[in-house]
Amino acid sequence: MNKKIVGYTTGVFDLFHIGHLRLLQKAKSKCDRLIVGVSTDELVETYKNKRPVIPYEERVEIVSALKCVDDVIPQEHRDKIASYHEIKFDVMFVGSDWKGSDLFNQVESELAEFGVNVVYFEYTNHVSSTSLQSTLQAIYDAEAS
C-alpha cells in the first residue's frame, strides 16, 4: 500500500491573489493531502506590526473554499519544526523568496532529519498583498482629496 503524501504550507493570505492561488495549486499537485496554515491576526501583528486587511475568519473561509486545499488550520506561531511535530507532514511548500535565507537553511536542515523535504515555488514578483494594499490606499487617498 502506498503512503499518502501530506503537504503543508502557510501564509497570511491577506488580499488573496493569483500568486496565492498558484502556490496552493502547485503544492496540491505534489501531494495527496494539502494542509494550509493561515496566520492568525495576532501572529501577523507580532511580526508585521499591523493587522491584516481581511480578518482571520474570512481568510480561512476563502482558503477553505479552494478545491486544491484539503484542510485549513490556524498558524499561531512561525516555528516550522514545532509545526512538523504537531502535524507530521511529509513535504513543506514555501515561496522562493525564502530560499537561501538563514531561517530556511536551518529549517531545511532540521526537517531533513525527519525525512521532510522543503520545496520552493517561484515567487510571483508582479503581485503581492502589500502592493495591492498600497495601490488601494493610493486610490482611496486620491478620491478623498
Q: List pLDDT tens digits, range 81-100.
A: 999 999 999 999 999 889 99
Order of strands, edge to edge, in the sheet holding 71-75? 71-75, 33-39, 6-11, 91-95, 117-121
- Run of H or E residues at 140: helix 129-144
Q: How far apart are CA 22 and CA 48, in angstroms?
A: 23
Q: How far apart are CA 22 and CA 95, in angstroms?
A: 11
> pLDDT tens digits for 129-141?
666 666 666 665 5
Q: How far apart are CA 26 and CA 29, in angstroms?
A: 5
Q: Which residues contact 91 (CB under 8 A, 6 or more apart)?
A: 5, 6, 7, 8, 30, 31, 116, 117, 118, 119
In order of their start, the domains of the chain are 6-144 (3.40.50.620)
Q: How confident is the model over 103-132, as a mean pLDDT?
A: 85
